Amino acid sequence: MSYAEKFKVKPGTKVELEKIGVNFKPDDLSRDEAEEKARELTRELRDLQHLMYAEDRRSLLIVLQGRDAAGKDGTIRNLFGPMNPQGTRVTSFKVPSKEELAHDFLWRCHNAAPKRGTVGIFNRSHYEDVLVVRVHDLVPKRIWSKRYDHINAFERLLADNGTVILKFYLHIDREEQLERFGKRINNPKKNWKISDADYTERAFWDDYTQAFEDALSKCSTSHAPWFVIPANRKWARNLTIAEIVADALRNLEMRYPEPDVDMDEIRRKYHEAERE
C-alpha cells in the first residue's frame, strides 16, 4: 500500500484523530535509510518542480495544517527548500489584516494560489476560518458552518483550472507538542518562536480536535484530498509527505515543451560562432 492510500482521508468518511497513531515509522527502513530516501525524493521534487515550470500547464498547491509546533515550518524547510524560488511561493496565513477583513474569507487565499507552472505552499490556510474562528467564536456558527461548502467550491475551481491540491494535517499528540515547546525555550535560536498563545491554546485542545476532525471529514475530496500524517517522528513525516507529493507529480506525466525555434538553424549559428 502506498503512503497516499495509507494516510488519505477517504471522501465521505468521519475522521477520529484519537484513533489515528502519531508515531508511524516505515517497517522496512531504519531511520538513516528513511532520511536518505527522503533526501533522494527531495532532489526528485526539485527536478519535478523544474519540469512543471517548463511545461507551464499546471500548478501544485500544498496545504499544511496542524497544531502549534506540529512541524509545518520544518516540513517546508526540509522538503521544499531546494526548489527553485523562481517557481515556488510559500505563504503564511496569520491574523487577517484590515484589508483582508474587508473581503470574503477566501480572498487572501485566492490571491496566493499558485499560477500556472508554479508550486504554492500554504503554511496554514483558508482552513483557519473553520478552525480558530470556530474555536474562539469569532463569528457565529451560522456563518462558519457554511464555509465548508465555500472551501470545497474554491478548491474545485482551482482543480478545474489545472491546480493539483494536496493537503496535509500534521498529527502530533499533547506530549510531543509540550516537548517541542520545551526545546524552543532551551534553544536561544528558537526563542523567537515562543508566544503566550502556545500555552493558552492548549486549553482548547479538545475543541481544536473537533474542529480539525470536521474540516478533514467535510473537505477531503477526490480533487483535493486530505492526508493525516503521523508527525511525532519528524524523519518519518518527511519521508511520507515527500513520497506522496512525488507520486502525485509523477502521475501527471509532464513533458518538456517542444522548442519554438528551428533547432537545426540554432545549431548552425552556434557552430558558426564557435569558428569565429
What tens digit of pLDDT does each residue of 129-164 get? 999 999 999 999 999 999 999 999 999 999 999 999
259 — pLDDT class (breaks 50, 70, 90): confident
39-82: pLDDT as tens digits: 999 999 999 999 999 999 999 999 999 999 999 999 999 999 99
| Cell representation of residue 106 | 477566501
Class of residue 234 by CB neighbours under 10 A (exposed 0-12, middle 13-18, buried 19+): middle
For strands 88-92 and 119-123, give the pairing. parallel
Q: What is the pLDDT of residue 5?
A: 96
**CB contact set of 240 (below 8 Å; sequence gap of 6+):** 3, 7, 24, 229, 230
C-alpha span between 109 and 125 (Å, rounded): 7
pLDDT-above-90 percentage for the chain: 84
Best CA proximity match to 228, nearest among 60, 40, 63: 63
Residue keyed to cell 491546480: 163
Torsion angle in degrees (nearest 10) through CA of 22, 215, 218, 149: -160
C-alpha span between 180 and 68 (Å, rounded): 9
Torsion angle in degrees (nearest 10) through CA of 82, 84, 85, 87: -130
C-alpha span between 97 and 54 (Å, rounded): 35
The distance from CA 11 to its chain's CA centroid, rounded to whole angstroms, is: 18
Q: What is the pLDDT of residue 112?
A: 97
C-alpha span between 265 and 163 (Å, rounded): 36
CA distances from 182 to 206, 234, 237, 247 (A): 21, 16, 20, 35
C-alpha span between 76 and 122 (Å, rounded): 10
8 strand-pairing partners: 227
Q: Is this prediction's pTM over 0.85?
A: yes
CB 217 within 8 A of CB 9: yes
Q: What is the pLDDT of residue 151?
A: 98
CATH architecture of structural domain 3-275: 3-Layer(aba) Sandwich (3.40)
Computed on alpha carbons and rounded to an integer, the radius of gyration of the chain in Å comes to 21
Report the pLDDT averaged over residues 106-111. Answer: 97
Average pLDDT, the chain: 94
Identity (one letter) of the amino acid at 275?
R
